[in-house]
Each structure stands twice: as structure tokens, then as C-alpha cells.
Structure 1
Amino acid sequence: MPSSNRKRHGDFTSPNGDGQVPERAYAQFARRLQESADKKDLKSANLADKLGITRGTMARYWDGERLPPSDTLITLSETLGVSPAWLIRGGDKSGGVLASASDADWVRVEEFDLRQMTDSEKGEAIGSTLFRRDWLYLTLGDSSGLWIARLLSHEMGMPAGAPIFCKDHPQGEMPQEGRVYIFRVNGGTVIGRFTYRQTGLRMSLAEGRGHPVPFGSGMVDQVVTPADLEDRDFPHFIVARVVGVLARPL
């Protein structure tokens, strides 16, 4: 398959936010997929039947011609007993498989209400949930300093009320290209994708309109640029980075 057809697929974009998946990522994904399947004596056709997809589609994943969408990836990883992050990105092989529940290290993740957030603090925690530390790390690429919030409206392809994993943004540190952040602006809270590129896709907060920008499998309606951070009328203050939505890393 020509590399030009692999610019963007499913939920996976390159770390620098340009929307391109490196050519080698397909082959590496296929290698890890076949390696994991072999340990369970599964072939491509067996996996297709278990996942409820056509054998032709599974064969394209198996041969490294394409990457699966997030819902298929999660089901596939559960079937193989590995993490979605390991299938896609690799890393320490021993960290690709979750420890048994009895051996797992658990961490309590607090939840905050975005409606109670101010320019200086998140407010009081409204609850907490126990998560396996290895699951957080393997799924989100991080397991420390995380907290949960719930979307106030339909964003990132998720309905209002969907939980998101967040991490406080260090004061004075510039945001990273293509990352999704929680911003405070004009007394309110918004979620937006930060970009250094002046593409004309900025949404004017005053006018309340703009073009949606693809991000992962959903949409992030607000695009924030360095100009927004310095805007005299509506300066955007970075509160936290959105690390993931449910089991999907951002």
C-alpha cells in the first residue's frame, strides 16, 4: 500500500500532531499482533470470528496494511490479554500484559467538577475511584497525578457526562502541539486542542463560531493558539492536559 494512503487512519495520529502515522508503525503493530496471537494459538481468521469482523478486514490488520479503530483495538487487546497502548506503541514487553488482580497496585483517582473550577483551583474533590496503576500506565501512558472530570457538553466525540482523565499543567510551561487541554477563559472553562499553526481555524470566543478540527476519533471544537494565550480581552489560562477519554489516550 502506498504510504500516501496512510496519512491518517482511525484514532491514531503522530506525536507531533500532524495527523500522520509513520510507515513503520503498521509493520510494528502487525508484528506485536501476530506475536500475541501466536501465544494464544490464534490465527487471523480466529481473531476475525471472535471480534465479529470480516476476515478480510482482520487480514489487513494482520498484514500491517492498516490500523484498527479504537473500539476494535480495545476488543482485540482484551482478546489477546495485552494493552491497547502496547499493541500500538510497543515498549517494555513485560509491561504489555496486566498483572493478576491479586498482584496489582491500585491508585485512587479523585474526581472534580469542571463547573466548580476557578482560575486558581479545581475546587473540592467530589469523589474518587480506584484504578489499577498498571492499567492506567499501559492505557494512558501515565499513572501519577491524574484526576477525573466529566464533559459538560458533547466534545471529542463523547457525550456530556463522559469521564476524562486529566493532569495538572505545570505553571509557566508551554503547551505541546496537538495536545488537548482544559483552559480557563473569561470566567468559564473550555476544552481545546493547542496548535502553534496559524491555520485560520481559531474559534472566536466572542463570536462563538469556528470550524471543527479532527482529533482522534471525535472532534475538538475549540482550537487554541499562542495568540489566545496572550489575548488581552479573552486570555486563555492552561489548567490541565486531557490525558485520555475513557480508555483512549489523547
Structure 2
Amino acid sequence: MAGRTAKAIDNRATTSRFRDNQSHPTKSAFADRLRTTLARLDLSDAYFARAADIPTSTFARYKSGDSIPKGDDLFRLSDALRVSPRWLMLGDEGTGGSLVDVADADFVTIPRYRLAALTDTSKGDPLETVPYRKDWLARRLGTTTGLWITELPSDYDALGLEEGDAIICADIDAAGPAEKWVCIFRGPGGPFVARYSNRGTIADPDQSGTSVVTATDLRNGEIFAIARIRARMLAKL
């Protein structure tokens, strides 16, 4: 009995070593693709770790090939790098439909503005510009122009957004916001986030507890629509 148990343990150990040895090429290839993409984008590791909401120590392990991301980390990282998660993990040529190889991709720069500088008519001077892949923007948002970045002025639980999150916004034209758009509005107390409804007057929160601004609110002249929120930095909304 003891002999069989020892043999079973030895077999499991051999299988584990075999699996570990098999995984090393995958980790190494993943790390190579990650490092290559980082070099092409010419932005710091700290920037991407922050953009992907991944601890810098974990990001360093991914970059060195000591480990590979799983689950949400993979998707957050691939979105931050603007590449397909399938390509990042497996190196497949099929990089997610309309996304082209990062070496051949065209980039646009999106300005980032300070939330406190936003007014009803101006955004102030940009703090910086952030490069984004045009094909990623076109596929996710349907546009590559008229976009800008700021921080979220308040929590918005319905979409899992928290105050301070970096968000991609678009200006709202003279026609005003459309039904169900999530927007940044400015009221007497400052900027806030709410869903827009072109119906009549609605009580402040809807049935899900989400703040709602109506066409009547805008006509009263105390609340102004500043921008439509198109995406958190890593996800379309």
C-alpha cells in the first residue's frame, strides 16, 4: 500500500513538472509579445500598470515571463495595450476582427482635461495627450474623432464607475443629449454623472437608484449637459 502511494505521489510530481515545463514556452512567448508591444508604444510600464489597474509588481512578473495573466487581468491588459487578448496570449494572427497588428496600426492622440477646468463652454488647456489606436476606437466606439479624457466627477453605480475613474468623453452638439446617454452634467453643486431621459419630469433616482436628468431639467436652465461618457479607459459603456 505504501509503495503504491509513493508511486502515485511520484507520478503526480512528474505530471506537475511536465505541465510546468510545457507552460514555460507559453509564458516566454507571452512576455515577448508584451515587451514588444510596450516598446512600440514607447510608454512607461507604470503607465500601463495604472491603465490596466494591475499592481506594478504583478505587471513586472507578466513582463519578465514569470507568470501570465488570467481572467480580468488579461482583458484589462489587452485593452490598455489596444491589442487582442487572443493575440497577446496565443500570438494568433486573428487579432480580433478589425484590429491590425500593432506595428501597422495608426494612432490618434486624445487630450486629457482637468475636471475642475470644465465649464459649459470650455475645457481649458489639455494636461497631456494619450495615444490610442484608431482601429480600437472605431471598433469599440464607432468614431475616432471628437474624443477627450477626464476623470469621473462622482460615482455611477449602475455601470460600476467610481469617482476619479479616467473616462473617454465626447462633446454634445446643439441637439443635446439623446435618450439613455450617460453624461456629465453641471448643476448648482458642480459636475455630476447621470443618465439622460427626454421624457417628462422624473424623480431624481430611477427604480435602480440611478440619477436621472430630464429634458425638463435642462430647459429650466440650472443644469447643463457637458459631455457624453463613451468609455472608461478600458471598457466601452
TM bin (shorter chain): 0.5 to 0.7
Question: What does the per-residue CA deviation read over 1:164-222, in whole Å, with 9 as the maximum and x for residues that have no partner?
Answer: 11111112x1321111122222262122111123474x32xxxxxx45747xxxxxx42
Report whether the alignment pairs 1:248 with 2:235. Answer: yes
- For the residues of structure 2 that align with 1:181 and 1:153, how far apart are their CA atoms? 11
Q: Is the 8 A contact 2:167 2:231 kept in 1?
A: yes
| Structure 2, unpaired ranges of 5+ | 1-68, 89-93
- Partner of residue 101, structure 1: 102
Alignment size in residue pairs: 157
**Root-mean-square deviation over aligned CA pairs:** 3.2
Choose which of 146, 164, 167 in structure 2 pairs with 1:164: 167
How far is the alpha carbon of 1:51 from its aligned partner? 6.8
Matches within 5 A, 1:86-235: 96-155=97-156, 156-171=159-174, 173-186=175-188, 188-198=190-200, 200=202, 202-203=203-204, 210-211=205-206, 213=208, 221-232=210-221, 234=222
User: Which has a greater percent of helix?
Assistant: 2
1:95 touches 1:138 (CA, 8 Å); kept in 2? Answer: no
Checking the alignment, whether the CA contact within 8 Å between 2:184 and 2:228 is kept in structure 1 is yes
Q: Please give the alpha-carbon distance, in whole angstroms, between the structure 1 residues aligned to 2:133 and 2:208.
A: 33
Q: TM-score by structure 2 length? A: 0.56
Task: Supply the distance in 2 between the matched residues of 1:147 and 1:115 (Cα, whole angstroms).
Answer: 15
Secondary structure, aligned partner of 1:96: coil
Task: Read off the aligned partner of 1:170 and give its amino acid letter.
Answer: D
The structure with more radius of gyration? 2
Structure with greater contact order relative to length (CA < 8 Å, sep ≥ 6) = 1
- Separation of aligned partners in 1, 2:201 and 2:187: 21
Deviation at 1:160, TM superposition (A): 2.4
TM-score normalized with structure 1 length: 0.53
Please say if residues 168 and 230 of structure 2, whose CA atoms lie closer than 8 Å, have aligned partners that are also in contact: yes
Rounded Cα–Cα distance in structure 2 between residues aligned with 1:196 and 1:73: 38
Gaps of 5+ in 1: 1-49, 53-70, 83-92, 204-209, 215-220
Residue identity opposite 1:249 in structure 2? K
